[in-house]
Amino acid sequence: MSTALHVHATGAPDGFCGMIGRHPSMLTLFDRIRRAAEQHMPVLIVGETGTGKELVAQALHRLSGVRGTLVALNVAALSEQLADAELFGTVRGAYTGAVDRAGLIEAASGGTLFLDEASDLSGGTQARLLRTLESHTVRRLGGRQEHPIRFRLLVSSQRPAGALVVRGAWRDDFCHRVNGITLRLPPLRERPEDVPFLINHVLRQLGCPTVSLVELRGACSYPWPGNVRELIRVVERAAFAAEGGPVKACHLEAEIGGAAESWSGADPGPADSPRSEERAWIERTLREAGSTKAAAHALGLSTDQLYRRFRALGIRAPRRR
């Protein structure tokens, strides 16, 4: 179950298919989701933990108008055998304890299959999934019969596709097949203006009075490493601490733990961190593309979004012309 906010009115002033945001980066994301929903090609949803990747998958499925169901599987920490059994199904005798049953790929036929944290897929599972995508058939583990299927594939990762290939997490051919459209979810530290609206939305959901934007200025400077998921938990704890009274800024600050301080985006973090890998991948793409506009297109970003990533990651940006 997604921990992101549930806002079902697509036309709500601050909400779109369950996501809250007024920041330009979110408005751009909402527009890209609308346009991507009209296509049938695979979509890679890239975002840090807690940014709402599952909600994006739900929005893409809902807005696509397909009649089938959305079938989701979080593949993080699944063994290759378990992931294969869940995805492809099994026949009796495929391994000890295996029974005849369809997998999630068959269940998603006519609809959408969403693989959350797909960076954890093993090389063997990637190869079998690639064959399924190319042949439009699926063969259950231990079986010989080919079952015809048609589904749209959505995958999510905390890292861009290129970084996954560089790390050896994804095969080149699998990356080329699933990286059709890339949708990047901005973390909260890149859209601090949205934090007060998110906090007050959670308070309304809890039946609590809202807090003035002036009182919430401190929360805007906190980097929110857990993003929306962390924000929801902080507000819930603050409401509990208020003991039925109005939630005040002091309650929120106490739950944050005094960690609210200005975030410096110029620090790329440890060499093996997602931010460091993203920086290396953007710099490499920029060199290969030869221009900021071409690099932005290759990364699935607008030019303005790419310049914001330059600032956030401490990349020396080419001069705009």
Could you write out the three-class secondary structure of 81-131? HHHHHHHHCECCCCCCCCCCECCHHHHCCCCEEEEECHHHCCHHHHHHHHH
28: number of Cβ within 10 Å: 17
Angle at 287 between CA 286 and CA 293, to 5 degrees: 35
Fold matches, 15-184 and 188-256: no
pTM for this entry: 0.76
Burial 77-101 (b: 16+ CB within 10 A, else e): ebeebebbbbbbbbbeebeeebeee
**Domain 15-184: which topology?**
Rossmann fold (3.40.50)
Looking at residue 307, its pLDDT comes to: 81
270 burial type by CB count under 10 A (0-12 exposed, 13-18 middle, 19+ buried): exposed
- Can you tell me the distance from the alpha carbon of 300 to that of 221, in angstroms, rounded to the nearest whole number? 28
User: What pLDDT, on the 0 to 100 scale, is given for residue 247?
Assistant: 93
Question: Tens-of-pLDDT digits for all 321 residues of the chain?
Answer: 343 343 333 334 457 998 999 999 999 999 999 999 999 999 999 999 999 999 999 999 999 999 899 999 999 878 999 999 999 999 998 888 889 999 999 999 999 999 999 999 999 999 999 999 999 999 999 999 999 999 999 999 999 999 999 989 999 999 999 989 999 999 999 999 999 999 999 999 999 999 988 888 888 888 898 999 999 999 999 999 998 889 998 889 888 864 443 333 334 444 444 456 667 778 877 887 788 888 877 666 667 778 877 877 778 777 655
- Residue corresponding to tokens 């009649």: 67
pLDDT at residue 270, as a whole number: 45
Confidence at residue 168, expressed as pLDDT on a 0 to 100 scale: 93
DSSP state of 244: T
Domain boundaries of the chain, sorted by first residue = 15-184, 188-256
Q: What pLDDT does 321 receive?
A: 52
CATH topology of domain 188-256: Helicase, Ruva Protein; domain 3 (1.10.8)
Neighbours of 2 (CB within 10 A): 17
183: nearest Cα among 123, 114, 241, 248: 114
Spatial separation of the C-alpha atoms in residues 312 and 290, rounded to whole Å? 21
Q: Note the pLDDT of residue 259.
A: 41
pLDDT of amino acid 234: 92
